[in-house]
Amino acid sequence: MAATESDARGPNEAGPVALPCGHVDDVDLLRARHYDLLAVLLGRAPDQPLLDRLALLSGDDSALGRLTANLARAAAQTDAAAVEREFFNLFIGVGRGELLPYASYYLTGFLNERPLARVRGDLAALAIERQERVSEPEDHVAVLFEAMAGLAAGRFAAPPGEEQRFFERNLQSWAGRFLADLEAANAARFYRSVGALGRAFLEIEAEAFAMSA
């Protein structure tokens, strides 16, 4: 899901890559890659070339490293057709999927509510525009992860503190719950590893932002 005009894309989307605005350190670039990966996997079912690349990921002894290794094993043990069915059952379904990955739903119980308006205002303030071909509303978790990837990598010109503000306003209160639900979803197989990795990553992000406040 390429959600914005600002080139916050995942690893399997073609096209030129936006250059960072100024110096971005290695830690922030690594964070941006995590957000990009989660955005791609939650925005659409991965194709076989992406699954093959995921299967080559290596982990380490850290919490994220172990969960990355789990994701690699899950990718190696499935195929694109199976993951496409899983994605459909989880997020699309006949009528609706098992999960609704929207801030409005998690925060109000309904779609297209005030959290969506807040996201749209925050994206507009950053001059991030939704691409016409994207049908999902902007409070979809993949869209928000793309925005965070762009902020972390310096793809947008943003004032100091905007990255933390965006995270706290639009993700911190609900995205971890969604990822925990994904990890435990009945239809989840491959996506259990996505949920676990994403949940742990957001916990680290929240702790880091709290320490920097």
Instruction: Give me Rg for the CA atoms of the chain.
Output: 16
CATH number of 26-212: 1.10.3480.10
pLDDT tens digits, residue range 22-69? Answer: 567 899 999 999 999 999 999 999 999 999 999 999 989 999 999 999
Tracing tokens 């902020």 back to the chain, one arrives at: 151
CA distance 189 to 144: 24
**pLDDT 10s digits, 64-94:** 999 999 999 999 999 999 999 999 999 999 9
If one counts every other C-beta atom within 10 angstroms of the C-beta of residue 181, the result is: 18
pLDDT in tens, 140-189: 999 999 999 999 999 988 998 999 999 999 999 999 999 999 999 999 99
Task: Output phi, psi for 102, to 5 deg.
Answer: -125, 140
* pLDDT at site 20: 43
Domain boundaries, given as residue ranges, for the chain: 26-212
